[in-house]
Every structure is written in C-alpha cells, then in structure tokens.
Amino acid sequence: MADELVLVDTDVWSRVILGRRDQSAEVATWRRLLVGRQPVIAAQTEAELRFLPLVHRWEAESAERFTAQVERTPTAPVTPAVINAWAELRAACRARGHALADKVHQGNAWVAATALAYELPLLTGAAIYRGVPELRLLEALDEDQDGIGPPDRKGLLSPR
C-alpha cells in the first residue's frame, strides 16, 4: 500500500524536511504525524522556497543543495481544479468573514486550495487554516488514530 499523501505548508517543510536539527515539541509532533505518509507541497510552497536563496543571495553551492532538497519533495501541480478550489475557497471564506479571504493571506489560500482540490489533509502550524470550510487538518489528535483515512487514488497526484 502506498503512503498516504499529506500536503505540508512552507513552515512544516522548512522545519521538518529541511530543519532536521529542530527538536521542538511542535516539530516532534509533526514528524510523528508524517510517519508512513508522503509529504507533498503546493506550487505556492515551492515558489516560496525557491524565493529564499534568491532574496538572501545565497552562495551557488548552498542554493543548489537547497533547491535539490526542494525538488525531492513532490509538488502538486496547479490544475483547473486547484484554480476553481481557490476561487470557491476565497468566496466561502469571504462570506464567512474568515481571514483567509484577505489579500495578505493569498499564499495560504493557494495552499488550502491545493489541499482541497487534491483531497489531501494539510499539516501546518498556522492558525489561519482553522475554520476553513471542508479543509482537513492533520493534527496531534490524529496520532492516536489510524490517520485520517486511507488514500483513495492510485496515482501520486491527480486532482478530483
């Protein structure tokens, strides 16, 4: 059986996948939640990660190592389903007065829309995602259970 796919946001990727020395309780919980699961990132997350070496003017060797690490994590492509999920999500959040509808949170909205379009749980430490309609968050409560359900698709990434 293939690993269950889990969308991870930029913070989780940076602190769990890249920051292997981070021993905080929060990161330890995230690591436990990822056992037996395949982390996937949204295109928004990949873009944010690729921005870091550019804006901070990293030396070529460091930037190449970092980029190689990013490329080892599958990225969920932006598809018409993701685009539609973003539009529907923003409208639903706006109607409910949820902050994810605000322009300043549009990066987070793309991450949430990706999770919704691919029907993936999202592993994040960001409170902005709480209360988002239909978004499944992978949380510490899921540790004692058998995850949040088996994957229902054969391919690694195929939107609904």
Tokens 């992978």 sit on residue: 138
**C-alpha R_g of the chain:** 16
70-80 tens-digit pLDDT: 999 999 999 99
Output the pTM of the full model: 0.85
pLDDT of 149 higher than 90: no
- Structural domains of the chain sorted by starting position, each given as residue range(s) with its CATH number in brackets: 5-129 (3.40.50.1010)
38-72 tens-digit pLDDT: 999 999 999 999 999 999 999 999 999 999 999 99
d(CA 57, CA 89): 35
d(CA 41, CA 11): 11
* Of 147, 87, 72, nearest in space to 117 by CA: 87
